Chain A
Amino acid sequence: MRQTIEVLRHVGLGVFVGLTIVCARQWRARTQPALRWATIAFGSLAAIGLIGLVMQQQVFRGLVLWLIKGLLAVLILFPYFLYRFAVAFQRPSRLVMGVARAVTLIAVAYSLAIPRLVLPGMPQPAWLTVYRGVILAQWTILFCIIASQLWWGAKGQTTVPRRRMRTLALASLGMNVAILLSGIAAGTPSERMRLVTQVLSLGSSILFFVGLAPPAWLVHIWRRPEMVGFQGAMRDLFAATSQAEVSRILLPHAVRVIGARGAALVSGTGTLLATHGTTDAPENIVALALSKKDPDTPSVHRVAFRTGAMLIWTSPYAPFFSQSEFAMLDGWGLFVDLALERSAAAERQRMFIANAAHELRTPLTTILGVASTLADARGSLTEAQVQDCLQALERQGARAVLLIRNLLDLAQLDGERLATSIETITVSGVVQHAMEAAPPPPGINVTVKVAPDIVAEADPDRLEQILVNLLSNAYRYGGPDVLIETREEPDGIVLVVSDAGPGVPEELVPHLFEPFTRGNGARASGSGLGLALSKRLAEAIAGSMWYSPASPRGASFSVRLRRSA
């Protein structure tokens, strides 16, 4: 049995040395005060064990009394260090802190004051009984504080941190029972009692290990309920069709996975998309979310992703015990990006359909109104009024047809199914055709400066469509003078249509090539799709298109075409 006890003692010592190394490594990786105290606590216990091993060889005979006094003092400080670990997350009341300090101080002072060593089998003096009582009381008080702090602190945490904290609470209680048993039996230590205390102590040290550095497989088992929730969240996220819906699904799940107090979602452009359970001022939330630095308060966790950031207000225990949950949450970024982009695309599509319907409604209702007026009141209309009505019918019919044609082209371009036939073309020829298709209205003069010998690689019909769109645009928004010219550049031929009108307002430029973007001054007779379509057409015929302000004033649209080989 003695041999078993010795083996258990050595294994227990090994576990404490291992715990010290694990805590020290974690402490180096993340400088949390709790980890410092855990390292000191288990380090001191491991040191006592190692020195005890050496002392068995009886090397330091002369220094034995003071060495043992010192070791006793360190042993008394172990529960105090562990207590500092447990209260590093949340301070207990002043009374509790005062009691912990006082009992530790008394026990250390008593240890340093003992007059001599009393070996087993020697008569037990009264001061030794009192001393033993003081130490047992100090250990018991401190371990009870540690256990209750961790046990009740775990309330409301998610499974992994809760299990870790409660494992540590149980380890503390086990350690306390072991010390109580060995203390009570100290005068007359039986082999069996020593075995029981060694087993208890080893069991507790293993529990400490599990609580502080749980193995991955155990974390996996513990996390199962949260994983089920996580999978549900992902399923819901991908069914979401708006940013609001993404936020509404994401935030409660994030809060549940971490056991947090609240969460907020902020877009990359600094818009607060949603909050859940937090009452912080919106400007503070946005500043915190977009800051490059880590949040000052350790209990605010930021999950940054491509399209924005999520902030989570956690419990004070989370930064230590929920590291693995944070890692899981950080992995959500990709899903959130996908869900947000997907819902933004759905929103764009809804807008597009609404805009298209709105644009179609105007010509169709005008046609309907004119037709019913002609049907009901033709007799009371003058001949000129009838002519106006017929012209309006023609104009609005043409407008509806143009809109539908552009919508179809745009749909084909987005699906990349547009048929093009690239061939060598004479640019001036295409310009001439475009001018015939879109002749300048009265009062507008078009100057063409395109040399007849300039050739490029393009689809002539599509290029003509682009030019007609650009010309119609210039007639609608520009001044009385429109210029078409070409420029030869190293990487191709640039065809430019410019006007001397007011130019594109600065705030409109970023959206210029989006469908249904319209500037002021629009006689809303176009489809609202001309520029969006032209840019995509230019790209479909292996070219490119861009806007720049004309000099000294006006708008200038350039189309780059491939040079003929």
Chain B
Amino acid sequence: MKASKFKVSLLLFPQLLISIFLMTGVIYGLIQGLGYIPALSMTDWTLDYYIQSIQDPNTLRSILFSLWIAFASSVLSVLIGLFICYLFINQKHYPKWVQALIQIPIIVPHIIVALFVIQILSQTGILARLLYVIGFENAQQIVSGWLFDPQGKGVILAYLWKEIPFIVFFCFSLIRQINGSLGEAAQTLGANRLQAYVHVTLPLCRQTILTSFFIIFMFTFGAYELPAILGPTLPQSIAEATYIAYTHPDLKQRPFAMAMNGWIFIISLGMALLFAFFIYRKKPSHKQGGQDG
């Protein structure tokens, strides 16, 4: 047992090394956010930058906008992803073309997704041209408002294309396995297919589903490229706002950017604790255990 523990630590070592670099950067950032940058002869520790940056209405708007995009894209991805799983649970493998449809989006980088979303949805894009060809005179008006809109529709759409396959990929095998055993048991006891799926299979896969939800949520919350390319000029996502603050030509403004980074970190940490509470709390499984028994 002890030897295996040692082995596990060894196996974790590369990851650990990366984490150390990562954490060092984060800690440096947090410290700079407190106004401590000796190279620029700033040596007074202060919370002012954290306080001022969060009081700025634009920062608040950015945080809310990022939370909205993260929430909308992860909830929709999970719902649609689970529905797709439902369509294919009774087959041993999903068909080849579905497999391709799922694998391709996962390997395509976000920046490429952004480019083709622009190609398709912009006012001179493929969709507008198609609509025009089949007789819509106002094709440009129809597609206008899908990109660069203050609700972030284009951004969310692009995330859906990337993340729905991720949900399917992440959850499908477990779902199919559980559905094949306990889900079928429920069906023999009189539940229909959908009932068995929703009331038996999904609750049992709760942890995996919540985990994938969490991964998508955290990623989209802190992501930069899609909101920057497909999003509106205002509100900016919090990552965009932070980057712009970071590129301010006056280096004395650096602590503001770092304080905004600090807020991203703090919010993410809070979210992580919240999700950990949901994912790992024991109560519901006991309850269900009781029902089963």
| Chains A and B come from one and the same complex | no
